[in-house]
Structure 1
Amino acid sequence: MATSIDIKHRAYEFAKQVILFTSEQQYSKVYTSMIDQLIRSASSIGANLVEGYAGSSKNDFIKFYTIALKSANETKYWICLLRDTILQEQKEKLNNLLREADELSKIVATIIIKTKSND
């Protein structure tokens, strides 16, 4: 389970980067809900990984890791929407966050697949 521990830390760092990035941005109040959704989905990745790792069964583990995967995919959506609308001047930073969200998504998906195949 060393991979699960590493991914939890990586997801935590990712959520922290998203929070720090969004806290530095200037945007109209109308976009607040988009920023909130991004923070919620980005922080949900790690929260669900932690929950899954502490789960009482293999099914718990898979359930929470699947939720984390969905959160990672949702995070990619919000990053792209922000990049292509209100924060276009931050394209490079948002693309970096997008790459990390994509990598987290792929790692979590691989962990789910491997866990399911270990039956």
Structure 2
Amino acid sequence: MNRQELQSRTKKFHVDVIKLCEDFPRNAAGFETAKQLIRSAGSVGASYRASVRAKSPADFLYKIEIVLEEADESHYWLEVVNDARLSQGPEPERLIKEANELTAIFAATDKTNKSKINKVR
């Protein structure tokens, strides 16, 4: 997967999360969960986009680690949505799978880049 495809995929993830949250109950749990989930999902795409403009390999690694944390946090919030049944239908399950895949992609990227940096030293 190239950089542009991954940028598009992370942005689509954010948009899909926003759409999912539109159907949450209009109560404190729905609002707060939507807020947390939308922020973490948005940070996946925005932080990945920022990583593309990294100033150095170390800066890239730092930014990828942020993306990894946010993807994992999004995964957590989507599990909460699913377990609390804040949204019905297959969409939470699909987004949990996507968050898991994004987490795996960025974990692999993190690991690869750490090994590259360590070889240079």
TM > 0.5: yes
2:55 matched residue in structure 1: 56
SS in 2 for 1:8: helix
2:18 matched residue in structure 1: 19
In 2, the alpha carbon distance for the partners of 1:88 and 1:102 equals 19
TM-score normalised by L of structure 1: 0.89
SS in 2 for 1:89: coil
RMSD: 1.5
SS in 1 for 2:88: helix
Q: Write out aligned runs for 1:95-106 (5 A).
A: 95-106=93-104
Q: Write out aligned runs for 1:63-82 (5 A).
A: 63-82=62-81
Structure 2: stretches of 5+ with no match in the other structure:
none
Structure 1: stretches of 5+ with no match in the other structure:
none
Structure 1 outlier segments of 4+, above 6 Å? none
1:12–1:19 distance in 2 versus 1, CA, 3 Å: same
Q: Write out aligned runs for 1:107-118 (5 A).
A: 107-118=105-116
Aligned length, in residue pairs: 116
State, as a whole percentage, how many aligned pairs show the same letter: 28
In 2, the alpha carbon distance for the partners of 1:36 and 1:67 equals 19
In 2, the alpha carbon distance for the partners of 1:66 and 1:86 equals 30
Is the CA contact (8 Å cut-off) linking 1:7 and 1:104 kept in structure 2?
A: no
